Amino acid sequence: MIGVGGSGSSLRAWIISIGSELLVGRVVNTNASWLARRLTFMGFTVDRIIVVPDVVSDIVEEVKRGLGRVRLIVSTGGLGPTHDDVTMEAMAVAIGKPLVLNREAELLLREFYSKKGLPLTRERLKMAYMPEGCRALRNPVGSAPGCAVTHNETILIMLPGVPEEMEAMFESEVTAILSPITPQVAIVECYSQIKGVPEASIAPLLRELSKRHLNAYIKSHPKGYILEKPVIEIRVLVAGSVGEEALSSAKQILEHIISEAVKLGGSSDVEVGCQTTG
Amino acid sequence: MIGVGGSGSSLRAWIISIGSELLVGRVVNTNASWLARRLTFMGFTVDRIIVVPDVVSDIVEEVKRGLGRVRLIVSTGGLGPTHDDVTMEAMAVAIGKPLVLNREAELLLREFYSKKGLPLTRERLKMAYMPEGCRALRNPVGSAPGCAVTHNETILIMLPGVPEEMEAMFESEVTAILSPITPQVAIVECYSQIKGVPEASIAPLLRELSKRHLNAYIKSHPKGYILEKPVIEIRVLVAGSVGEEALSSAKQILEHIISEAVKLGGSSDVEVGCQTTG
């Protein structure tokens, strides 16, 4: 089983979210939950999500705490062209490297702006200045490139703050960087239907099971009514390093839910189906 | 002006969110953004949101970092009856106090469960064990009481993780505890309508203004079409320690938006209206 394994896991990760808009509550940090879920399913144990303002000293403080302590630090935000985008500067300070013009990043920016018929101004070129040693990450959706750099056993990944850009860059660039160090993970999804029990009656059980099985995602979807009886679809998703274990765990959780639903007066006509990916 | 004032502010606050479900990405941390917004509007500068697992040593580490450094630490989560609810235990360690049975909390729990006709079991009574010196906070919605305790100039507030319980406890108990140390804050909201400019065309300007005025909330709501022209309502909310300043700032931002909309071919027939609260 993978997932939240406590501090025993060697694949610990931190997520550092950079942006004052998060600290005044204007923006909900969906980037962090997206990344946390994605990293967990890749085999990492995320044990901190830290939100810091766009202030160099604050970013440096938190990154330094993580260096050497966790295998991976992913940051989001602060890569844009304006003066309050200070992530690259802060990362350079944190790892003790100079901020230099990254040629790959410059090429990516030239390509991006020439396609748009826009000049590569000084402000825009600022986005190509990165800590020395950075591998520039292409932004498939927007302008700002990301960076991947390793320092003392810790991989540092800097991603943009715009959710679509962050997600696209993660999928197209970051997964390949991380795959050599992550275990083969199988993801199993089992599903069935329950009839005759309202969703609210089964919700406490699902919550309890979710809390108990941290590597499982348990979801219910109301599917309408058959002969005035509510029908709920139940889906249980489990990630595991061993496919058979994940499969048996997902099945077991789902069968437990069904048996509890039967105790509550429900029934299940639909056989449990399962599929495995990854 | 209040709000994000950088580290110059004496009213710095941290939010510590406790719960492994946040670190596996199953739950989006809306509690933190709700609190961040609420605290910002009360005059605090939130400069960290930290998510930690339900592990005593992790919670202790983060709370200790904040003690003496910030005026306020608000935690959410980990107050329930199960063995993985360890917030009170961790807080006691962090401030060097024993975990004791809090009589107020015990009374609150007795009252809650007797109303429900349920016994106060040992597991439930666990929720009344708090760091010595805690003022118990009534939970208007659920069972687990919160705690407020001061240690070395830092006020520590522990709230439940269920959003409705957290918000209700904050409004009914916490605002009164914090009001003696927070400035009088006026909240001004100005609003108008723009006709003939699609929301997407005005969005970049609103984003830029939001970034520039961190104590302002700028929102647009599409209100349909008049004679095939899109109508957008614009609302600008500004918090300030001086009411007149907040009012003039909100007006200025809104008038700037309207003048930019006119440049984009739009118009505004509706006079700017403003109202002040607080």
Domain ranges, ordered by start, for chain A: 6-178, 186-277
Query: Per residue, what are the HEC states of chain B?
Result: CCCCCHHHCCCEEEEEEECHHHHCCCCCCHHHHHHHHHHHHHCCEEEEEEEECCCHHHHHHHHHHHCCCCCEEEEECCCCCCCCCCHHHHHHHHHCCCEEECHHHHHHHHHHHHHCCCCCCHHHHHHHEEECCCEEECCCCCCCCEEEEEECCEEEEEECCCHHHHHHHHHHHHHHHHCCCCCCCEEEEEEEEEECCCHHHHHHHHHHHHHHCCCEEEEEEEEEEECCEEEEEEEEEEEECCHHHHHHHHHHHHHHHHHHHHHCCCECCCCCEEEEEC
Question: Considering only alpha carbons, which residue of chain B is nearest residue A215?
Answer: B24
Start-to-end CA span in chain A (Å): 15
A58 touches chain B (CB under 8 A): yes
The CA distance from A52 to the nearest CA of chain B, in Å, is 5
Q: What's the token pair of residue A121?
A: 């101004």
Which one of A26, A54, A60, A83 would you mutate to disrupt binding with B, by most B Cβ within 10 Å of its Cβ?
A26
Q: Which residues of chain A are within 8 Å of residue B211 when distances are taken between CB atoms?
A: 21, 82, 84
pLDDT bucket at A2, cuts 50 / 70 / 90: very low
Which one of A21, A30, A44, A51 would you mutate to disrupt binding with B, by most B Cβ within 10 Å of its Cβ?
A51
As a whole number, the mean pLDDT across chain B is 90
Contact A74, A159 (CB under 8 A): yes
CATH of region A186-277: 3.30.70.600
A9 touches chain B (CB under 8 A): no
Nearest by CB to residue A55, choosing from B6, B214, B217, is: B6
Give the burial string for A188-206 (b: 16+ CB within 10 Å, else e). bbbbbbbbbbeeebbeebb
Query: What are phi and psi for residue A141, nearest 5 degrees?
Result: -120, -40
Do A51 and B49 lie within an 8 Å CB cutoff? yes
Tens digit of each residue's pLDDT (9 = 90 or more) over B99-122: 999 999 999 999 999 998 989 998
What pLDDT score does B278 carry?
Answer: 59
Give the burial string for A153-164 (b: 16+ CB within 10 Å, else e). ebbbbbbbbbee
What pLDDT score does A1 carry?
Answer: 37
Q: What is the mean pLDDT of the segment spanning A182-206?
A: 86
Tens digit of each residue's pLDDT (9 = 90 or more) over B31-40: 999 999 999 8
Q: What is the mean pLDDT of the segment spanning B189-202?
A: 88
What ipTM, to 2 d.p.? 0.79
Give the burial class of A177: count Cβ atoms within 10 A of its Cβ; 0-12 exposed, 13-18 middle, 19 or more buried: middle
B8 touches chain A (CB under 8 A): no
Pairwise pLDDT comparison (A275 vs B4), residue with the higher score: A275
Tens digit of each residue's pLDDT (9 = 90 or more) over B213-225: 877 888 887 788 8
Most confident of the following: A89-93, A262-266, B114-118: A89-93
Reply yes or no on whether the pLDDT at A5 is more than 60.
Answer: no
Q: Which CATH architecture has domain A6-178?
A: 3-Layer(aba) Sandwich (3.40)
Tens digit of each residue's pLDDT (9 = 90 or more) over B211-261: 888 778 888 877 888 888 889 889 898 888 778 888 999 999 999 999 999
Do B51 and A32 lie within an 8 Å CB cutoff? yes
Q: Considering the entire predicted model, what is its pTM?
A: 0.79
Give B137's strand partners. Answer: B146
Do B29 and A33 lie within an 8 Å CB cutoff? yes
Tens digit of each residue's pLDDT (9 = 90 or more) over A206-241: 888 888 887 788 888 778 888 888 898 898 988 887
